[in-house]
Amino acid sequence: MPDPVAAPGAQTRPEVVVFVAGTGTEVGKTWAAAELARVLRDRGCVVAACKPVQSHDPDEAGPTDAAALAAATGQHPDDVCPPEHTYPVPLAPPMAADKLGRICPTVDELATICRFGSTVGIGLVEGVGGLYSPVAPDGHNLDLIERIEPDLVIVVAPAGLGGIHDSMACASPLAAYRHAVFLNRFDPRIEVHSLNLRWLRDAGLAVATSLPELADIVGTDPVGRPRGGD
């Protein structure tokens, strides 16, 4: 499989750019993005990830978001998120950078990082927190989405109580973009999960409850045709 890391001067826009957002923090956004990358790679897609900026709690065990994404795509963590854009403070990146006495990139600067190697077919860009979580001193995830203009925005949402509100609250600001909801930790045996799924689909949202189903959405164009087909 081709190396997803771009050589200098070989960066371009892939056929599909997917922005992975969350309805908030701790909804499993990084896990979903990493596992989606694995499913897509198993299907023969060349996938690379970009986490343009990240913050984390250095006292918590486990990999950073960039390291988790890199393990799924075969990249080096530093190619997923530049080390200078990693802040070991559990605050939103611009706040974490300020606390450390460092400069956090602007939204425009972050957008320039969201580039991929010329062999990459699907580029995954993971934001931080929810749509309105600060990603830079001059903007939030929605501002970054507007700069990148992704082909698809995936919103990772809770499957249980609150999932309808959280999902619908993200639908309006994303009206200009093709978007889909991934109900994380969905269990069809739990009544509220099934009822939430039905309600959201009846409201006209594209909703996936499994990673293969989510990969199917990534692999089709806006009218439902397989990408690369006639």
Q: In the beta sheet, which residues pair with residue 152?
A: 18
| Cα gap 66→86, rounded to integer Å | 9
Q: Which residues of 63-97 are buried (b: 16+ CB within 10 A; e: fewer)?
A: ebbbbbbbebbbbebebbbbeebbbebeebbbbbb
Separation of alpha carbons 54 and 41, rounded Å: 24
Q: Which of 22, 23, 29, 51 is catalytic?
A: 51
59 C-beta neighbours (distance < 10 Å), count:
7
Identity of residue 103: I
Neighbours of 44 (CB within 10 A): 8
Catalytic residue status for 51: yes
Catalytic residues: 51
